[in-house]
């Protein structure tokens, strides 16, 4: 039996992953998991997606896209357990139990709910307009996701730390009544890259300034050519540190390549040449994973098998912990 600490990462399937997701979250999470320091569990949070995704065929495709993305980028299912949230019913049973130890005030302070309320207020709508109970109780289900295997470490972005704090609060409330049943999880804030979008703002689907991860070469090149530049002549020296193209380039290039392109900028480079250099280095980096991704999406039975095997590995651990919880509360 492994004595390593458990690291848990959840990925919500709400659309095709983009470069910002990869560099900001996927890459650092995989580096942590592949370090060998933790027993890694990665899950696809399909029930969480039901808050906004209500088309079955769309959700199913999103699930496959997320799984194929992580597998293509280096997740080894023999070393890291990859599973689908809905394949582990113990999580939902625990969700109800935990909800009975969750103060309503805690949910009122959750960032996503507060943001929706604030938006409604600004738009002069009823404060609870568009708020379903999935959104409101999202942090309880997230706590169940974390606590059902007594996770020790949860890698998250800075904006997700509150969810781990809420999970700790709920676990503490339960433990206060029944003893030390749950392990209190620790948030590990990921130091991912701040990835610019095509317009210089943070890459986001909200701004429609993102680059999907596995675009075909021609479409990737076309999108890179859309990056906005000024009318400076090619012969005029340019500051590489004041260029979105160079910002992107640094995310994929070696130190030597970065130094060479910076020197070219200072000598004078045409924007078309700079974009071509960016395309080449980005395409080289993504070519191998793109092929694996396309193979997996062409034969989804391979993804199904990996997710089924992952659930089969995690469920005995989930059943063991749920049994302890149910004995504690007096239903077993």
The binding site for ATP consists of 12-14, 20-21, 157-159, 195, 202-206
CA 2 to centroid of chain Cα atoms: 26
- Any residues with CB less than 8 A from the CB of 3 and at least 6 apart, and which? none
Instruction: Detail the residues annotated as belonging to a binding site for L-tryptophan.
Output: 145
How does 291-311 read in b/e, with b if 16+ C-beta sit within 10 Å?
Answer: ebbeebbeeeeebeebbeebb
**Terminal-residue alpha carbon distance, the chain:** 26
Cα–Cα dist 257/66, whole Å: 31
The full DSSP string for 84-143 is: EGGG-HHHHHHHHHHHTT--HHHHHT-HHHHHHHHHHHHTT--TTTT--HHHHTHHHHHH
In contact, 188 and 155? CB cutoff 8 Å? yes
Instruction: Detail the residues annotated as belonging to a binding site.
Output: 12-14, 20-21, 145, 157-159, 195, 202-206
User: What's 70's DSSP letter?
Assistant: H
Cα–Cα dist 165/128, whole Å: 24
């Amino acid at each position: 039996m492994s004595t390593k600490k458990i690291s848990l990462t959840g990925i919500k399937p709400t659309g095709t992953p983009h470069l910002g997701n990869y560099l900001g979250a996927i890459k650092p999470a995989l580096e942590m998991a592949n370090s060998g320091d933790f027993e890694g569990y990665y899950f696809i949070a399909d029930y969480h997606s039901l808050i906004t995704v209500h088309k079955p065929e769309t959700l199913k495709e999103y699930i496959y896209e997320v799984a194929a993305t992580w597998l293509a980028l280096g997740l080894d299912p023999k070393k890291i357990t990859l599973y689908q949230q809905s394949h582990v019913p113990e999580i939902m049973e625990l969700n109800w139990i935990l909800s009975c130890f969750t103060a309503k005030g805690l949910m009122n302070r959750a960032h996503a709910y507060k943001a929706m309320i604030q938006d409604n207020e600004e738009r002069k709508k009823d404060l609870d307009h568009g708020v379903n109970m999935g959104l409101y109780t999202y942090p309880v289900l997230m706590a169940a996701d974390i606590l059902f295997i007594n996770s020790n470490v949860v890698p998250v972005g800075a904006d997700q730390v509150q969810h781990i704090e809420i999970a700790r609060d709920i676990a503490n409330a339960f433990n206060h009544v029944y003893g030390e049943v749950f392990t209190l999880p620790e948030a590990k804030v990921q130091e991912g890259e701040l990835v610019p979008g095509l317009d210089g703002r943070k890459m986001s689907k909200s701004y429609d300034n993102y680059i999907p991860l596995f675009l075909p070469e021609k479409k990737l090149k076309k999108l890179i050519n859309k990056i906005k530049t000024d009318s400076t002549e090619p012969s005029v020296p340019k500051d590489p540190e004041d260029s979105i193209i160079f910002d992107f380039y640094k995310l994929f290039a070696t130190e030597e390549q970065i130094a060479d392109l910076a020197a070219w900028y200072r000598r004078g480079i045409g924007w078309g040449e700079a974009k071509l250099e960016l395309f080449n280095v980005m395409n080289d980096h993504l070519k191998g994973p793109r092929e694996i991704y396309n193979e997996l999406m062409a034969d989804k039975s391979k993804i199904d098998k990996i997710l089924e095997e992952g659930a089969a590995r995690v469920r005995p651990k989930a059943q063991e912990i749920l049994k302890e919880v149910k004995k504690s509360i007096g239903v077993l």
